[in-house]
Amino acid sequence: MANPHFQNMILWAGNTVASRAKKDTPMFLPYASDQTYYMYSNDFFTYNSGDWTVTTTEAGSGNASEAITSGAGGQLLITNDDADNDLDFLQLKGESFLIDGTKRAMFEARFKVNDVDQSDFVIGLGITDTTPLDTTDGIFFISADGDAGLDFLVEKDNSATTTEDVATMADDTFITVAWYVDPNTSLVYYSINHAEPVGVANTNVPDDEELTVSFGIQNGEAAAQTMTIDYVTAMVER
CB 90 within 8 A of CB 109: no
Extents of the domains making up the chain:
34-237
Closest CA to 169 of 85, 228, 212: 228
Q: Would you tell me how many other CB atoms lie within 10 Å of the CB of residue 234?
A: 26
Partnered with residue 66 across adjacent β-strands are 78
Closest CA to 122 of 140, 101, 149, 99: 140
- Taking only the tens place, the pLDDT of each residue in 151-196 is 999 999 999 999 999 999 999 999 999 999 988 888 999 999 999 9
- Give the mean model confidence (pLDDT) for residues 199-203: 92
- Give the mean model confidence (pLDDT) for residues 108-124: 98
- Give the mean model confidence (pLDDT) for residues 223-229: 98
CATH classification for the domain delimited by 34-237, as one of 3.50.50.60, 2.40.10.120, 1.10.600.10, 2.60.120.200 = 2.60.120.200
What end-to-end distance do the CA atoms of the chain give, in Å? Answer: 16
Spatial separation of the C-alpha atoms in residues 91 and 234, rounded to whole Å: 13
pLDDT score for 222: 97
Mean pLDDT for the chain overall: 88
- Taking only the tens place, the pLDDT of each residue in 20-48 is 333 333 344 445 555 788 999 999 999 99
pLDDT score for 160: 96
- Give the mean model confidence (pLDDT) for residues 88-105: 95
> Which amino acid is residue 116, in one-letter code?
V
Across 181-215, b (16+ Cβ under 10 Å) vs e yields bbeeeebbbbbbeeeebebbebebbbeebbbbbbb
Count of alpha carbons within 13 angstroms of residue 88, beta-carbon side: 23
Q: Is a pLDDT exceeding 70 seen at residue 3?
A: no
- Read off the pLDDT band of 8 (50, 70, 90): very low
Tell me the backbone φ, ψ of residue 232, rounded to 5 degrees: -135, 145
pLDDT score for 35: 75
Secondary structure percentages of the chain, helix, strand, coil, to 5: 5, 45, 45
Spatial separation of the C-alpha atoms in residues 211 and 209, rounded to whole Å: 6
pTM over 0.85: yes
pLDDT score for 101: 84
- Give the mean model confidence (pLDDT) for residues 135-151: 96
pLDDT score for 1: 39
Partnered with residue 119 across adjacent β-strands are 219
Residue 108, C-beta contacts closer than 8 angstroms, at least 6 positions apart = 5, 6, 9, 176, 177, 178, 179, 231, 232, 233
- Give the mean model confidence (pLDDT) for residues 14-24: 36
Q: Would you tell me how many other CB atoms lie within 10 Å of the CB of residue 33?
A: 8
Residue 103, C-beta contacts closer than 8 angstroms, at least 6 positions apart = 181, 183, 236, 237, 238
